[in-house]
Structure 1
Amino acid sequence: MTLRDVSLLYGGLLLAASLPAQAQSVPSPTAKPAPEAADRLVQPRFGVNYQTGAGGFRDFGSAEALIPLGQSPGQNLWFLQGQARLDTVGGWGSTLLLGYRSLDASQGRIVGGYFGVDVQQADGGTFYQLGAGFERVSQGLELRSNLYLPVGDRTTNTTLAGTPFFQGYQLLLPTTRQVAMAGGDVSVGG
């Protein structure tokens, strides 16, 4: 290849790179028709999950279900949601809640809430709690809040957690017990 051939090759490549590209034209997409109400019908959902523990929590598996109780497709939904959990050492728990969600498509907003009951078996006892929550999701803003209130026995029996020892003139018994506490949380995002 001579110097003239190389310069023609590079000149041709440079010229080709500077020309505007002509892409094959793509027909414009046609507007899709709005989904029919039957297409927006929420169907029952079932699932199985396994989650590995971290930070001192045990691994656990769960079975979950969401069952629509009543709905106006694309507008609102009453549902029953449940979960049964079992950890790797036989601790169990379950959750059952009744929820509602409403979609205001003209405002691009979802508003909903729930009431539920939760049962959790822990080392030495079983705890029960009632819960309630609210959510509002719109374009650019998500707001969720939850409240938890224990019912029934709130503490487990005290158990010896180590060897008794003397400190000064006192005999100390290292013990543990679990306590159910009321609480709540709020999350805001966009």
Structure 2
Amino acid sequence: MFNRATALTLSELKFAIARDPLIVKPDTTVMDAIAQMIGVPGKHNTTKTADGQLDQLYLEAQSNCLLVVEDGRLLGIFTAWDVVRLSAQQRSLENLAIRGVMVHPAIALHESAFSDLFFAINLLQQHQIRYLPILDEQDRLAGLVTDESLRQISRPIDIFAVTPGV
């Protein structure tokens, strides 16, 4: 079993949240959404961390998914996988609104409930998703957690600290 030493603090968990995810309005065309996803690295600044790894994860998350938001409310999510799916269907993307192809409702987690790394990981696995929008207490978008950002903040478990001695 895990001991208290292996648990992450709330402030450590907060580092996994990208506070500036890429967002679009529901009437944005799919082509415009894709253009924004492709153009992310040059458009967004992130706060530099000691090793830059979380910054890179935030940029990758932004270039692989966007959140559909209206009046601060999360309506849905659109990922690079959705682009592949639409391309395979040979749908015309030129005048197609994102509202018609986004995944909705999006699985999300309230920030106040984001207190356990394993709960968040299990939520991602249960729903077979890689991106988890984080909402504030008023159900407004607060950020985005990814499977990779959770993996990055997790500390390696010291098996000697959690197994009985010899």
**TM-score of the superposed pair, with normalisation by structure 2:** 0.24
Larger radius of gyration between Structure 1 and Structure 2: 1
> More relative contact order in 1 or in 2 (CA 8 Å, sep 6+)?
2
Q: Which has the higher helix share?
A: 2
